[in-house]
Amino acid sequence: MLTGLLARLEPVHEACTREERETIYRFRYRVYVEELHHTVGGVDHGQRWLRDEDDDGPYSIHLYTGTMPEVTGAVRLMHWGPGEVPEREFRMLSMDRVPDIATLRVAELGRFMIHPTLRGRMLLPALARTGYEVLVGRHGVEVMFLCCAPGLISAYAKLGFRTFGGALVPHADGMHVPMMGFPSDWERLAKIGSPAAGIARKYYGPGRRPPLDVARYEHLFEDGSVVMDPEHIWEEMQHTLQDAEAGASFLQQLPEKLVGELGRRGCIVDVAAGTLVTQEGYVERELYVILSGSFEVLTGGRRLAVVGAGEVLGEVAFFRESGSRSASVRAVTPGRVLMLRRKVLQAMMKDEPALAAELLFHLARVVSERLAATNRRLRLVEARPSMLPEEPPDAGADTPDSRLVRA
């Protein structure tokens, strides 16, 4: 199976010329800015490219698929010797949690992107496998880090990366989660079917390089700030259901079998107070079911609602063809959310069509109720303009129809 996978991998090239790098910067612009509407630094609208100061550093390597000038995928690799990681990356990726990090050769994978018409094919595994070869074979990297949106956790987990309790990374578009992986853990890479498994065995094992003692770091992966274990997720969802007022929330109205199916297919993310979960205008189709805490929904800087345990967020972008968020969401208190990718629905339509229909019905009901509540509010404002507040309400207060008026 693995041999067949590797045979289908796309050719990967290393950008060695200025022309190649500038073509990659323009490809980033098309994906990050024009397609996904990300808010990122280094955007040059005149040149129509996305480039930052790290791109030309001596520690940076750029890989791409496709041919000039039609790049189809790209990734930037940054690598450092023991104790050489810049303070910014060290703090951002919570490297201080890793024992003896100052003695290890470290890498960060970033700007990982695929052309929108080619996602789900072999470009991601090809870039990951070649990146492994370059970082481990050429530079002896012992631990790798990356930072991704919650919706991409499962994709990077298939490559061998794991969440380790690092602090969520604040981003202009919403929260991002740090992940790490050990390239010498070839047994685990083979077990999960990572495209890097074959190369790992090439460098590590009997008669080769001694692997890192990964057992020393296993405690990092038991943190619980990101949960992917279905049994744990099910238990936490049951606590939310038990604590909620009967029939009052989105989660409470779902049949038990559908609740279990969502738990099996999602992941839980721990969210600190003040964290921006997602940004208005951002292209992201994930659904968020609140398991604990309070979250405010804002548009144009004005609060529309405060929502709590059992409620769903993100249903508008979930349905929209563009996937663009119609509102921002920020945590008012510490909380936890169940994150569900749009692909969950697509998979359920094949595996559990009756449950998929049930989920669609309840999401449509939420959209309808919230649209009706918004219309009521608009009619009230038209009749009594003074009812429209000049400033957003206080952080802890619910607005009228706060469980209904949400984007």
Whole-model pTM? 0.78
CATH number of the domain within which 351 lies: 2.60.120.10
pLDDT above 70 coverage of the chain, percent: 90
* Structure-block tokens of residue 169: 């990374």
The answer to the question of residue 406 being in a domain is no
- The confidence score (pLDDT) of residue 407 equals 36
**Which is more confidently placed, 285 or 221?**
221
Q: Report which of 252, 337, 329, 245 is spatially closest to residue 289, judged by C-alpha positions.
A: 337
Q: What is the DSSP letter of 251?
A: G
Contact 169, 110 (CB under 8 A): no
Determine the average pLDDT of the residues in 223-235.
86
Q: Which residue has the higher pLDDT, 230 or 102?
A: 102
Structural domain count, the chain: 2
- Residue 79 sits in the same domain as residue 183: yes
pLDDT in tens, 84-126: 999 999 999 999 999 999 999 999 999 999 998 888 788 988 9
pLDDT band at 396 (very low <50, low <70, confident <90, very high): very low
On whether residue 178 sits in a domain, the answer given is yes
Q: Please tell me whether residues 177 and 206 are part of one structural domain.
A: yes
Examine the fold and report which residue of 182, 201, 222 is the final residue of a domain before the chain moves on.
Answer: 222
Check: CB of residue 71 under 8 Å from CB of residue 20.
Answer: no
Q: Is the pLDDT of residue 257 over 90?
A: yes
> Same structural domain for residues 93 and 30?
yes
Residue 399 lies in a domain: no
Q: Are residues 187 and 298 in the same domain?
A: no
180 and 284, same structural domain?
no
Is residue 386 very low, low, confident or very high in pLDDT (cuts 50, 70, 90)? low
Please give the residue range of the domain that contains residue 244: 226-387
In this structure, the answer to whether residues 232 and 194 fall within a common structural domain is: no
In a domain, 394, yes or no: no
The dihedral formed by the CA atoms of 32, 34, 39 and 41, expressed in degrees to the nearest 10: 70
Has residue 210 been placed in a domain?
yes
Q: Is the pLDDT of residue 247 over 70?
A: no
If asked whether residues 195 and 272 sit together in one domain, one would say: no
3-state secondary structure of 350: helix
Q: What CATH number is associated with residue 104?
A: 3.40.630.30
Q: Do residues 192 and 338 share a domain?
A: no
**Which has more confidence, 393 or 191?**
191
Q: pLDDT (tens digit, 9 = 90+) per residue, 121-165?
A: 889 889 999 999 999 999 999 999 999 888 888 889 989 999 998
Of 11-20, 315-324, 325-334, the one with minimum mean pLDDT is: 315-324
**Whether residues 232 and 212 fall in one domain:** no
Claim to verify: residue 109 and residue 249 sit in the same structural domain: no
Residue 350 lies in a domain: yes
- Tell me whether strands 267-271 and 312-313 are parallel, antiparallel or unpaired: unpaired
Q: Check whether residue 127 and residue 201 sit in a common domain.
A: yes
**Under a CB-based contact definition with an 8 Å cutoff, are residues 155 and 127 in contact?**
no
Could you read off the pLDDT of 188-218 as tens digits, one per residue? 999 999 988 888 888 987 788 888 999 999 9
Give the model's confidence band at 387: pLDDT under 50 very low, under 70 low, under 90 confident, else very high: low
Q: Measure Cα distances from 188 to 95, 175, 197 in Å.
A: 22, 28, 8
Q: Is 120 left (phi over 0), alpha (psi -120 to 50) or beta?
A: left
For residue 407, tell me if it sits in a domain.
no
Lookup: tokens for 371: 């649209």
Contact 317, 149 (CB under 8 A): no
Based on the fold, state whether residues 130 and 262 are members of the same structural domain. no
Place of tokens 């409620």: 311
